[in-house]
């Protein structure tokens, strides 16, 4: 049951972060503009700093205007306020979790999960046979599968995206195929993988490959297609060679889009790996979840959920940092 | 040496949903080597289209463009174009932006060191030697436009094509860059075709002002030869009788005889 519902969740989530773009018809359905990602956080940081300056200049005015205790209790540094809000959010979340756990005693509460987590993480790299290994090995095996499948997808998908984006004919040629295959639930590919590779591990990697390739193809193609005409005019006026156009104009101009595609792809890959491993077994977070479900160690399942979330968040943040590095001050 | 740049009965029509739209109708213009010609007209009159024909970005539907007795087909580095919005590549420094153009023209004949020297000279010409290493977003709009001019000049083009080069700048920066351009053109003896909608700019900079009628199917309305001594100084010219005369002639053409349709 669980395994059956998971892939659906996977595809849903791969579509939600996307903002539909008007351009390019069916192919550009899951495009997030590169500005969308790094921009809000960058701007909010600047706003925060401005607020800080304003408050620093006229602290008395604020107190007089709002009157007494409220203004005085407000922290001087808005980052402190943000930190407090974060902490409060976590506290509320844990409290709600504890409340639910008391209503349903079969669900482990925060304290029980925490104790179990201490035990799990005390020895992350033990090996007790092929089906019983430490959480560290589970995380690393999942990351390795994602890394290989995603890496292959990048090697294939980004060049394809460039070619599709550069040549309208190829774009039209591939649009129906991509449009048809992209929405297919990742796990639907698994039987084909099992049939072709006759082994679970390559099949899982293949599922990662096929499900994470689409955002990279599509975003790269849109990125190449949206290279400003000004830059292409420069290329035309200078009569640059196709190689120079690619390395000096198309690649740098499309890079933010490519990185957005990479970010979406990693997200999809990380969503899919848990479901794929549930079905293929071996070592990995997905398998671990399924194993602990069979053992009815529900607290371990909750630990796995947190681990999946934290690793996914870390991957996303790392790629956001990378994307900001390559914004060339265009969006700043 | 005359008829260095020859625009010979050029017409341009663009296909649109409601049939073909004629932007330019039978335009002919000859420009001598070392001459500075300004194209002026209301927006949408096709002056940029004419410039793009010379640049090779737009193919004339009828007619021909010759540069130094060779027909202009595709865009090429023998025509240096400065775009209104500078069009610098934001991931390349000023030096790298200029070097890209230098490399294209001199890559087969000169060493890297020689080309770097060319790049440095071009940036020094527009007084940007000190900001050469900066990225475009780190410099002001006026400086970006200077880099654009340096990039065009560094190729040693046969003709410099300026498409409203200072249109996006504030008035003071624009005046400053116009003065710079006067000096640069005098120094390099460039042949220049400039599109502008600024009457003062046209009269101040050029040897001839070509006034275009309103589109669609724009033509050359009048050509005004500007007989003012060089080097020109905007302060001295401001009260110069002939300058005022030329200025009002252009204004007359633009606002009395060819008032914009939607104004």
Min distance B254 CA to chain A CA atoms (Å)? 29
Task: Evaluate if residue A302 carries a pLDDT over 80.
Answer: yes
Question: CA A214 → CA A35, A218, A315, distances in Å?
Answer: 20, 6, 19
Task: Evaluate if residue A97 carries a pLDDT over 90.
Answer: yes
Place A75 in a pLDDT band, splitting at 50, 70 and 90.
low
What sign does the CA torsion over B225, B230, B232, B236 have? Answer: negative
Token readout for B201 is 């700019």
Is the CB of A237 inside 8 Å of chain B's CB atoms? yes
What is the per-residue pLDDT across A247-300, written as a single tens digit (0 to 9) for each?
A: 999 999 999 999 999 999 999 999 999 889 988 877 889 999 998 899 889 999
Which residue in chain B has the smallest CA separation from A327?
B91
Question: CA A165 → CA A30, A89, A90, A218, A230, distances in Å?
Answer: 15, 43, 43, 9, 17
ipTM over 0.95: no
Is the CB of A248 inside 8 Å of chain B's CB atoms? yes
Mean pLDDT on A53-63: 44
| A230, A248, A253: residue with CB nearest B85 | A230
Of the two residues B43 and A219, the one the predictor is more confident about is A219
Burial class (CB in 10 A: 0-12, 13-18, 19+), A142: buried
**Which residue from A7, A13, A8, A9 is spatially nearest to A278, judged by alpha carbons?**
A7
Contacts of A249 in chain B (CB under 8 A): 89
pLDDT at B260: 63
pTM of the model: 0.73
Helix (H, G, I), strand (E, B) or coil at A123: coil
Mean pLDDT on A19-38: 41
Token readout for A230 is 């000004």
Min distance B189 CA to chain A CA atoms (Å)? 21
A14-18, A161-165, B226-230: which has the minimum mean pLDDT?
A14-18
**Which residue from B161, B165, B151 is spatially nearest to B100, judged by alpha carbons?**
B151
As a whole number of angstroms, the distance between CA A22 and CA A1 comes to 38
Instruction: Count chain A–chain B contacts defined by CB atoms under 8 A.
Output: 58
pLDDT at B19: 83
Residue A14: how many other CB atoms lie within 10 Å: 25
Is the CB of A231 inside 8 Å of chain B's CB atoms? yes
Min distance B76 CA to chain A CA atoms (Å)? 5
**Which residue from A331, A220, A309, A320 is spatially nearest to A263, judged by alpha carbons?**
A320
Contacts of A330 in chain B (CB under 8 A): 90, 137
User: Cβ of B89 and A249 within 8 Å?
Assistant: yes
Edge to edge, the sheet with strand B208-212 lists B79-82, B159-163, B192-196, B36-40, B208-212, B220-225
Is the CB of A188 inside 8 Å of chain B's CB atoms? no
User: Cβ of B83 and A233 within 8 Å?
Assistant: yes
User: Cβ of B57 and A248 within 8 Å?
Assistant: no
Is the CB of A122 inside 8 Å of chain B's CB atoms? no
Place A2 in a pLDDT band, splitting at 50, 70 and 90.
very low
Task: Evaluate if residue A30 carries a pLDDT over 70.
Answer: no
User: Cβ of B87 and A234 within 8 Å?
Assistant: yes
Mean pLDDT on B143-168: 91
User: Cβ of A328 and B74 within 8 Å?
Assistant: no
Chosen from A34, A238, A247, A251 to mutate, greatest number of chain B CBs within 10 A: A238
What is the per-residue pLDDT across B167-201, written as a single tens digit (0 to 9) for each?
A: 888 888 889 889 989 988 988 888 999 999 899 99
Burial class (CB in 10 A: 0-12, 13-18, 19+), A206: buried
As a whole number of angstroms, the distance between CA B199 and CA B204 comes to 8
Min distance A226 CA to chain B CA atoms (Å)? 15
Burial class (CB in 10 A: 0-12, 13-18, 19+), B69: exposed
What is the per-residue pLDDT across A77-96, written as a single tens digit (0 to 9) for each?
A: 888 999 999 999 999 999 99
pLDDT at B160: 94
Helical packing angle, A200-225 and A2-15, nearest 10°: 20
Question: CA B75 → CA A232, A246, B154, distances in Å?
Answer: 12, 18, 17
Contacts of B92 in chain A (CB under 8 A): 248
As a whole number of angstroms, the distance between CA B260 and CA B263 comes to 5
Residue A240 CB contacts under 8 Å (≥ 6 apart), including other chains: A248, A249, B100, B104
Which residue in chain B has the smallest CA separation from A252?
B91
pLDDT at B2: 58
Residue B119 CB contacts under 8 Å (≥ 6 apart), including other chains: B95, B98, B99, B102, B132, B154
Which residue in chain B has the smallest CA separation from A244?
B100
Is the CB of A251 inside 8 Å of chain B's CB atoms? no
User: By percentage, how much of chain A surpasses pLDDT 70?
Assistant: 76
Task: Evaluate if residue A45 carries a pLDDT over 50.
Answer: no
Contacts of A227 in chain B (CB under 8 A): none
Helical packing angle, A135-166 and A285-294, nearest 10°: 130
Q: Show the 3-state SS of chain B.
A: CCCCEEEEEEEEEEEECCEEEEEEEEEEEEECCCCEEEEECCCCCCHHHHHHHHHCCCCCCEEEEEECCEECCCCCCCEEEECCCCCCCCCCCHHHHHHHHHHHHHCCCCCHHHHHHHHHHHHHHCCCHHHCCCCHHHCCHHHHHHHHHHHHHHCCCCEEEEECCCCCCCHHHHHHHHHHHHHHHHHHCCCEEEEECCHHHHHHHCCEEEEECCCCCECEEEEEECCCCCCCCHHHHCCCHHHHHHHHHHHHHHHHHCCCCCC
What sign does the CA torsion over B222, B223, B228, B231 have? Answer: positive
């Amino acid at each position: 049951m669980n395994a059956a519902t998971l892939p659906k969740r996977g595809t849903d989530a791969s579509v939600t972060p996307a903002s539909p773009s008007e351009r390019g018809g069916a192919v550009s359905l899951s495009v997030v503009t590169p500005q969308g990602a790094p921009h809000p956080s960058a701007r909010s940081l600047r706003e925060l700093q401005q607020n800080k300056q304003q408050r620093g200049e006229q602290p008395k005015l604020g107190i007089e205007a709002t009157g007494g205790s409220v203004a005085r209790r407000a922290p001087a540094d808005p980052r402190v306020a943000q930190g407090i809000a974060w902490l409060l959010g976590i506290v509320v979340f844990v409290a709600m979790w504890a409340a639910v756990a008391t209503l349903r005693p079969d669900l482990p509460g925060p304290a029980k999960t925490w104790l179990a987590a201490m035990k799990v993480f005390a020895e992350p790299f033990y090996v007790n046979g092929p089906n019983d290994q430490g959480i560290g090995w589970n995380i690393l095996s999942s990351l390795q599968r994602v890394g290989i499948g995603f890496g292959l997808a990048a090697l294939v998908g980004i060049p394809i995206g460039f070619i599709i984006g550069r040549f309208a004919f190829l774009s039209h040629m591939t649009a129906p195929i991509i449009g048809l295959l992209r929405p297919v639930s990742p796990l639907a590919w698994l039987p084909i993988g099992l049939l072709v590779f006759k082994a679970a591990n390559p099949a899982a990697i293949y599922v990662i490959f096929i499900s994470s390739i689409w955002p990279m193809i599509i975003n790269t193609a849109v990125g190449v297609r949206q290279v400003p005409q000004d830059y292409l005019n420069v290329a035309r006026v200078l009569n640059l060679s196709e190689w120079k156009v690619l390395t000096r104009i198309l690649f740098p101009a499309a890079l933010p889009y490519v990185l957005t595609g990479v970010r979406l792809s990693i997200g999809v890959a990380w969503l899919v790996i848990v479901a794929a491993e549930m079905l293929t077994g071996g070592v990995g977070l997905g398998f671990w979840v399924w194993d602990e479900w069979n053992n009815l160690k529900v607290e371990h399942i909750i630990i796995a959920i947190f681990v999946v979330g934290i690793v996914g968040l870390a991957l996303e943040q790392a790629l956001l940092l990378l994307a900001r590095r390559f914004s060339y001050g265009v969006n700043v | 040496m005359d008829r260095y740049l020859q625009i010979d009965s050029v017409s341009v029509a663009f296909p649109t949903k409601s049939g073909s739209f004629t932007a330019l109708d039978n335009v002919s213009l000859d420009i001598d080597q070392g001459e500075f010609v300004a194209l002026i007209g209301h927006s949408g009159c096709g002056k940029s289209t004419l410039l793009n024909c010379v640049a090779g970005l737009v193919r004339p539907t009828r007619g021909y463009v010759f540069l130094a007795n060779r027909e202009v087909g595709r865009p090429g580095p023998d025509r240096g174009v400065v775009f209104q919005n500078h069009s610098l590549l934001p991931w390349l420094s000023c030096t790298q932006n200029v070097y890209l153009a230098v490399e294209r023209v001199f890559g087969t004949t000169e060493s890297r060191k020689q080309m770097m020297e060319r790049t440095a000279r071009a940036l020094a010409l527009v007084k940007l030697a000190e900001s050469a290493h900066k990225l475009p977003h780190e410099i002001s709009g006026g400086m970006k436009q200077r880099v654009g001019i340096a990039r065009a000049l560094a190729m040693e083009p046969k003709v410099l094509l300026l498409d409203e080069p200072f249109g996006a700048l504030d008035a003071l920066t624009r005046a400053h860059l116009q003065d710079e351009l006067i000096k640069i053109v005098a120094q390099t003896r460039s042949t220049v075709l400039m599109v502008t909608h600024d009457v003062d700019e046209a009269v101040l900079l050029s040897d001839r002002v070509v006034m275009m009628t309103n589109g669609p199917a724009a033509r050359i309305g009048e050509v005004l030869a500007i007989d003012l001594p060089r080097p020109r100084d905007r302060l001295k010219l401001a009260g110069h009788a002939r300058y005022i005369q030329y200025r009002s002639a252009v204004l007359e053409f633009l606002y009395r005889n060819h008032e914009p349709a939607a104004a």
